[in-house]
Structure 1
Amino acid sequence: MRKLANSELERKNVAEFKEAEKTPIVIILDDIRSLHNIGSVFRTADAFLIEKIYLCGITATPPNKEIHKTALGATDTVSWEYAKDVLEVIENLKKEEVAVFAIEQVEHSVLLQDFTPETGKKYALVFGNEVKGVSQQAIHECDGTIEIPQLGTKHSLNISVSAGIVVWDLFKKLQFPG
């Protein structure tokens, strides 16, 4: 086995990324404190051709040196928008018939492995504050909640790790159904 050089990976350039058909997933980051988490989510969104990221509340926006450290240019490829109020973003997406799901531990959540996205439908995933999670108000406005099963002693995962897990799982199910 030989490790591939970057030039052999056949990745898109910025213009090709912008023109490419996107995965029908939107990410909503609400009140994310860590600039590194924000940058990591941008990088994940780039990897899976995510349609858009909404940065809400106290979530910082590009250009930002600390976001760039982990995004490594993904803020130039992935479409993003700042909105102060996450509830307004959720409401507007639902009007556009986007299915909005909070990624959170709540009563009656659907475990990630049991969640089956519908082909031809667009999904928005709400990720909340590193300490408080997705607000109860936002959860009430969502169409449902998805929970990442955890078997250890900790109660949560890092936001960028959660985003990577959920985005990969939905991407895989949408791109390779069955």
Structure 2
Amino acid sequence: MKLNAQQLRDLEEQKAVGTIKEVKRNPIYFILENIYDTYNIGGLFRLADAIAVEKIYLCGEMEIPPNHKIKKASIGTYKIVPWEYKRSSKEAIEELRKISNFQFPISNEFSNSKLQMKNNETMKQFNNVNLNIIAVEQNSKSTDYRKTDYRLPLALIFGNESYGITPETLALADQIVEIPMWGINKSLNVIVSAAIVSYWVMNKR
């Protein structure tokens, strides 16, 4: 089922619960850290829905739904994408790392990836699989996002618009990647950065 912007905005909370269950989610998490701009938060919800992430973690100093600006920018996708607030990215990462058994609804499109599915199953159990945590940030230790192994299951960390991801959070990531910049501007909008990396992951699956 596909809904347009108006239908998503008008979708009642109770009906949204049923819609959530219909989505075949990919084994990808978003960890958003100190995103101040509510437009960006809403846009990231919309992106998360587009690639059917498993869950969004909203961490640190940031607004959360049902903030009216987030509702508007997300065109209602905040009702569709599972999310949770954490006081810090560390809490989100620690929670994910503690999970020893992963069970994700996976599209058949993943059947040619490392996550081979048997008999076209839409569910696969991952036992004792380590979550791959990748921070998207410009850093002395970062590598080109196109030269990274995005092993699934995967968590992508995106940081503050002005100051990026905190050093404490970067230290918890398995890898740090960045998007090349050829002009004077140092960085891209966080939604744009997230979209570039996310769709690269989906295309490389």
Q: Common fold, TM-score beyond 0.5? A: yes
Using the alignment, how far apart are the partners of 1:150 and 1:18 within structure 2? Answer: 39
Q: 1:46 aligns with which of 44, 49, 58?
A: 49
Unaligned runs of 5+ in 2: 9-15, 100-129
- Partner Cα separation in structure 2 for residue 20 and residue 33 of structure 1: 28
Deviations 1:138-165 (A, max 9, x none): 0001111111111111111111111111
1:17 offset after TM fit, Å?
A: 4.1
Alpha-carbon distance in structure 1 between the residues aligned to 2:71 and 2:149? 33
- Contact 2:132-2:150 within 8 A present in 1 as well: no
What's the CA shift string for 1:58-116, capped at 9, x where partnerless? Answer: 12110011001110010010000000121121122223321111100112312111123
- The aligned counterpart of 1:103 is 136
**1:157 aligned to which of 188, 192, 197:** 188
Mapped to 2, the partners of 1:42 and 1:18 lie a distance apart of 17
Structure 2 counterpart of 1:7: none
SS of equivalent to 2:204: helix
- Secondary structure of 2:177's partner? strand
Q: Does 1:11 align with 2:2?
A: yes
2:127 corresponds in structure 1 to none
For structure 1, the residue ranges without an aligned partner over 5 or more in a row are 1-9
Whether 2:137 is the aligned partner of 1:137: answer no
The secondary structure found in structure 1 opposite 2:186 is coil
Secondary structure at 1:82 match in 2? strand
- Percent identical among aligned pairs is 38
2:85 matches 1:82: yes
TM-score (norm 1): 0.85
Q: Is the 8 A contact 1:32 1:38 kept in 2?
A: yes
**What is the aligned partner in structure 1 of residue 148 from structure 2?**
115
Deviation at 1:134, TM superposition (A): 0.2
Is this contact kept in 2: 1:17–1:49, CA < 8 A?
A: no
User: What's the TM-score, normalizing by structure 2?
Assistant: 0.75
Given residue 76 of structure 1, which amino acid in structure 2 is its aligned partner?
K
For 2:183 and 2:68, how far apart are their aligned partners in 1? 34
Do 1:25 and 1:123's aligned partners in 2 also have CA atoms closer than 8 Å? yes
The two structures, once aligned, show a CA RMSD in angstroms of 1.6
2:163 is the alignment partner of 1:127: no
